[in-house]
Amino acid sequence: MILTTLLLLTNLAFAAPTKDIVLDCIDGDTIKTQTLGKVRILGIDTYDSKNTRMIEKQMKQNNLSKEEVVKLAKQGSKFCEDTLKGREVVLKSDHSDKDVFHRNLRYVYIDNQDYSELILKTNLAKPYCKDKKIIKYSKYGCK
């Protein structure tokens, strides 16, 4: 029984890639899709423009002013909108299906390109290195 449950959970976590349409960009690392709803994009963390606690944390970590953090957050959101909004993407799962906020966790591919890699190249996102279990942990610059 336990083995069957573990196998079932493993299969769910590594479900086949699915196609979906991006309806909206909540920010640079979170999107809303037609089928899955809210999706947190794996491997990246973009700047925040609304959460005061996160803005202060990002100011300290990156030696930036509040205005600079908010500007980078807006640029990250715009990058997401320009790159993903209204387009068909491929969503791929990893070891966890959802985060603590019940968002679906997925890698996002647009035209066979990894969105996380694209936004990391712009410096509008940083690698999200808290989850060492993700498959692309080191590929995104985490050590």
Say yes or no to pLDDT of 4 above 70: no
Q: Which two tokens stand for residue 86?
A: 């209204």
Q: What is the SS3 assignment for 23?
A: strand
pLDDT of residue 43: 93
The pTM of this model reads 0.85
Whether residue 67 is predicted with pLDDT greater than 50 in this model: the reply is yes
Tens digit of each residue's pLDDT (9 = 90 or more) over 44-61: 999 999 899 999 999 999
At 134, phi and psi to the nearest 5? -65, 145
For residue 84, pLDDT beyond 70? yes
- When pLDDT is cut at 50, 70 and 90, the band that residue 8 belongs to is very low
HEC profile of 48-111: CCCCHHHHHHHHHHHCCCHHHHHHHHHHHHHHHHHHCCCCEEEEECCCCCECCCCCEEEEEEEC
Residue 93 has pLDDT above 90, yes or no: yes
